[in-house]
Amino acid sequence: MITRFAPSPTGPLHLGHAYSAMLAHDMAKASGGRFLLRIEDIDQSRSRPAWEDQIYQDLTWLGVSWEQPVMRQSDRLDAYRATLDRMWNDGVLYACSCNRADIKAAAFAPQEGVSLGPDGIIYPGTCRNLPNDHTSLPNEAALRLDWSKIPVGAFEAGQAFFEETGEHAGRHVVSLDKLRKQVGDVVLSRRDMGTSYHLSVVLDDAEQGVTHVIRGADLFDATQIHVGLQQVMGLPTPVYHHHRLIRDENGKRLAKRDDARAIAKYRAEGATPADIRRLVGLPPAE
């Protein structure tokens, strides 16, 4: 088993992150496998070196150890670019200059039924068939994957599969038809970013040889996008394990702004790593 924890250095690690990291670390150790860390810092406007340092400190304190070197997404821009170049030349991407308001307006136009997918409003396709005079990758626009250009044969008769061992355990079908109609053309490169969460996570899990993706249940619905992209790019599909989310006393899931549950805060108040394990419902470390 090769698994990973992939935090974004945009705020303090809280109890939910600690649970995710320790669970993945425990599972890797129990199976004699490997645990990797990946810093997801493609959003340079929100990522801070200080948060990255805090991640290393908090994880070390929690008893989590990882292999060196740590993969950082900001070091991977050339790899993302090479994939986007290839897909652009294959004609499966298109440039999209819609902003959020444009997408909302088009999607809410009376003749269109508004639908929500795992990626938010299903993109109504405004830019899909615009004439396009770019011979190489345009930088000033977002790039979307045109699912309609992906042949059914890129999947197994239009279907792909993944195995889930956490919440919703079982074998799941990912259908190309559903990706076209109920997910929509996903952004693979944001304007001025050179990639997107979906593209990076899929390429990086493959590059790191991750066999088991262990992460929060909030990402379960995005998994069909990831599995679809693996088919398009000819990459292996790992096993997925989506774990329960850690919630506050009102049942709301923790967010980055829940500083009250930051690991650093518990540490400062004298909690031990064993206390944190108990709080998130993990058995004592061996």
User: Residue numbers of the site for ligand GLU (CB under 6 A)?
Assistant: 6-8, 40, 201, 215, 219
d(CA 115, CA 119): 11
Tokens in use for 49? 């070196």
**Element counts in the chain: helices (H) and strands (E):** 9, 12
d(CA 139, CA 28): 39
Classify 163 in phi/psi space as left (phi over 0), alpha (psi -120 to 50) or beta. beta
Q: Which CB sits closer to ligand GLU, 26 or 40? A: 40
d(CA 103, CA 99): 6
Q: What's the Cα-to-Cα distance from 127 to each of 81, 85, 152, 183, rounded to whole Å?
A: 21, 19, 23, 16
Q: What is the dihedral of CA 120, 161, 152, 217, to 10 degrees?
A: 10
Smallest separation (angstroms) from ligand GLU to the CB of 101? 26
Q: Which CB sits closer to ligand GLU, 3 or 231? A: 3
Q: Which CB sits closer to ligand GLU, 96 or 213? A: 213
Smallest separation (angstroms) from ligand GLU to the CB of 276? 18
Q: Which CB sits closer to ligand GLU, 64 or 96? A: 64
Tokens in use for 107? 């999607």
Q: Which CB sits closer to ligand GLU, 5 or 266? A: 5
Q: Return the number of other C-beta atoms located less than 10 Å from residue 205's C-beta.
A: 25
Smallest separation (angstroms) from ligand GLU to the CB of 40? 4
Q: Which CB sits closer to ligand GLU, 185 or 204? A: 204
Smallest separation (angstroms) from ligand GLU to the CB of 194? 17
Smallest separation (angstroms) from ligand GLU to the CB of 20? 8
Which SS3 state, helix, strand or coil, does residue 142 take? Answer: strand
Smallest separation (angstroms) from ligand GLU to the CB of 218? 8
d(CA 199, CA 197): 6
One-letter identity of residue 131? P
Q: Which CB sits closer to ligand GLU, 243 or 277? A: 243
Smallest separation (angstroms) from ligand GLU to the CB of 17? 7
Q: What's the Cα-to-Cα distance from 31 to each of 21, 34, 128, 212, rounded to whole Å?
A: 16, 9, 46, 12
One-letter identity of residue 148? S
Cis amide leading into 49 (omega within 30): no
